[in-house]
Amino acid sequence: MTDRSIDPTTDQVRALRDAGPEGPVVMLNLLKFRAVAEYGADDNEPAMSGAAAYARYQTAFVETVGAVSNAQVLYDGPVGQVFIGMAGTPETDWDKVLIVRYPSRQHFLAMMADATYREALRHRYAGLARTVLLQCGDHQG
């Protein structure tokens, strides 16, 4: 039941690893949740919303492997109205925006390689219908 379309490609990971920015990076997540999380039969998880499943994944990368990721959530909230763009299209139909700052791309990549983090990915797969993850530079004032 794992949808790999919400994973980065090997080329995308390589580009961040080899040519990413120095210093802090900010990841902008646009998230669309499943109405009901879709776990595999072997997962033995209770029924829950996609948002609740994703929250379990988010706890993993912020708290459980926080010493590895040093993730700092800058914004975590629902999407309000579409102010510019056509409402109701896939391009503008998101449930939540999550903006996370990492001290470096190496912190982000170390998190992705962490075994505890990788185990928590099942909650991400179960909860997300689709996502866009944009790597941004760090801008402080």
Per-residue model confidence as pLDDT tens for the chain (141 residues): 555 667 777 777 777 778 766 789 999 999 999 999 999 888 899 999 999 999 999 998 888 888 898 999 999 999 999 999 999 898 899 999 999 999 998 998 899 899 999 999 999 999 999 999 998 876 664
**pTM of the full structure:** 0.85
Q: Where are the domains of the chain?
A: 4-137
Fold classification of 4-137 (topology level) = Alpha-Beta Plaits (3.30.70)
DSSP string, the chain: ---GGGSPPHHHHHHHHHHPPSS-EEEEEEEEE-SS----GGG-PPP--HHHHHHHHHHIIIIITHHHH--EEEEEEE----SSS-TTSTTT--SEEEEEEES-HHHHHHHHH-HHHHHHHHHHHHHEEEEEEEEEE----
